[in-house]
């Protein structure tokens, strides 16, 4: 069973590879990722976070009306356009447990990805879903939300995670 990696694990800094064709192997990985994401629990997970360098992202989008969450997988996701308008939202990360920071990013995006059936999907995303996707797609390029902070703040957060790990709190 794969585990979620924490900073400063160097695997989190690597760029993952594009998948040529979605096969049962990739679908199995995505199912494992969804299990780990729901168990954590988290709103999103990138394959890098469990040490697999393939472009796979899973999403667990909360529903405002308390209905079922929207859970889905994106293979080879890319962002093809960003809105000029930016918004600040608080972010956290399963690889940086118990740490949060306000991060500014474009409000809306257009994404392209493949689904389980190798179909190419192009969609506009907004609000919280656009935010989660930008955070997760960053992971595929070895980028973390703390990279948008000053190096001072970033180092403080990494030290806090190391302390939590040492104390056995994560």
Tell me the residue ranges of DSSP E strands in 47-160.
Answer: 56-61, 70-82, 86-93, 96-106, 109-114, 120-125
Confirm whether 136 is a catalytic residue: yes
114 vs 132 by CB, closer to Zn ion: 132
- Which residues would be at the binding site for Zn ion (CB under 5 A)? 93
19 vs 144 by CB, closer to Zn ion: 144
Residue pair 96/6 in contact (Cβ under 8 Å)? The answer is yes
Shortest Cβ contact with Zn ion: which residue?
93
22 vs 137 by CB, closer to Zn ion: 137
22 vs 93 by CB, closer to Zn ion: 93
What are the b/e assignments for 92-121, b being 16+ CB within 10 Å?
ebbbbbebebebebbbbbebebbeeeeeee
Instruction: Write down the least CB distance from residue 118 to Zn ion, Å.
Output: 26
Contacts (Cβ under 8 Å, ≥6 apart) of 96: 6, 7, 144, 145, 146, 157, 158, 161
Instruction: Write down the least CB distance from residue 162 to Zn ion, Å.
Output: 17
Distance, CA of 6 to CA of 158 (rounded, Å): 9
Instruction: Write down the least CB distance from residue 119 to Zn ion, Å.
Output: 26
Instruction: Write down the least CB distance from residue 122 to Zn ion, Å.
Output: 24
Token representation of residue 116: 């389980």
Catalytic center residues: 136
């Amino acid at each position: 069973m794969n585990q979620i990696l924490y900073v400063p694990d160097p695997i989190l800094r690597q760029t993952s590879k594009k998948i040529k064709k979605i096969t049962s192997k990739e679908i199995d990985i995505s199912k494992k990722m969804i299990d780990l994401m729901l168990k954590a629990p988290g709103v999103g997970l990138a394959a890098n976070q469990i040490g697999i360098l393939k472009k796979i992202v899973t999403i667990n989008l909360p529903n405002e009306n308390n209905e079922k969450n929207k859970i889905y997988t994106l293979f080879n996701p890319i962002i093809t356009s960003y809105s000029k308008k930016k918004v600040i939202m608080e972010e956290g990360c399963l690889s940086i447990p118990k740490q949060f920071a306000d991060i500014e990013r474009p409000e809306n995006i257009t994404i392209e990805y493949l689904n389980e059936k190798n179909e190419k999907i192009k969609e506009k995303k907004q609000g919280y879903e656009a935010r989660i996707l930008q955070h997760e797609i960053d992971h595929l390029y070895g980028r973390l939300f703390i990279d948008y902070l000053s190096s001072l703040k970033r180092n403080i957060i990494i030290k806090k995670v190391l302390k939590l790990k040492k104390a056995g709190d994560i």
